[in-house]
Amino acid sequence: MNVAIEESWKERLNPEFEKSYFKKLTAFVKQEKSTQLIYPSGSLIFNAFDKCTFDNVKVVIIGQDPYHGPGQANGLCFSVNEGVRHPPSLKNIFKEILDDLGKAIPESGNLERWAKQGVLLLNATLTVRANTAGSHQNQGWEEFTDEVIRKVSEEKTSVVFILWGAYAQKKGAIIDTKKHLVLKSAHPSPFSAYNGFFGNKHFSKTNEYLQGLGKKEIEW
């Protein structure tokens, strides 16, 4: 199956595209598209990979579902398109960056600027039906994104994995903690941000770790 994904990822993930679960997943998404509005648009489903090549990955942030509101999802977890109001979790992420690093809250919620610096913004599920959270879960995306995490963990060293909330932490159980830095805290959602997300200092901790390796820090 020919999947339009960035070449360095394609090279590593090609075997997945031939597996029966991925073929079933593709058929499911096509069927959904024929009767429903699906986010993000087709060209942005693999945007996290297109904007951050395998060789460039320094940090991985694991999200759950794409946003399901009009014009929000752009294929990067927690990120929204230019001009779109910041969703609550993203607002809290920017608040923590302000408190941690003193960086002003940006107008744009498009995190493409992070991706281009080596932050893989990976949702566990890469598509969703409009206005229906979780509608494309358990259709095969999770198996695919588990393999992505496994590849990064096995083939790279000294990557920072940022796991916010129980879902991301469970998904990150396959990460080799001897080779990588794994940062965990509560999720930035308004329901849990005050239970350990605020004050986690994950952004400065990531940069200190990268700096210690002689790598360029992320401009959060």
Active-site residue 65, yes or no?
Answer: yes
Of the listed 65, 100, 146, 176, which one is catalytic? 65
Locate the DSSP E strands across the chain: 38-39, 59-63, 119-123, 128-129, 160-164, 181-185
CB 123 within 8 A of CB 79: no
Bridge partners, residue 181, by sequence: 160
The contacts of residue 42 (CB under 8 Å, 6+ apart) are 33
Instruction: Give the residue among 169, 185, 168, 166 at the shortest CA–CA distance from 92.
Output: 185
Catalogue the active-site residues: 65
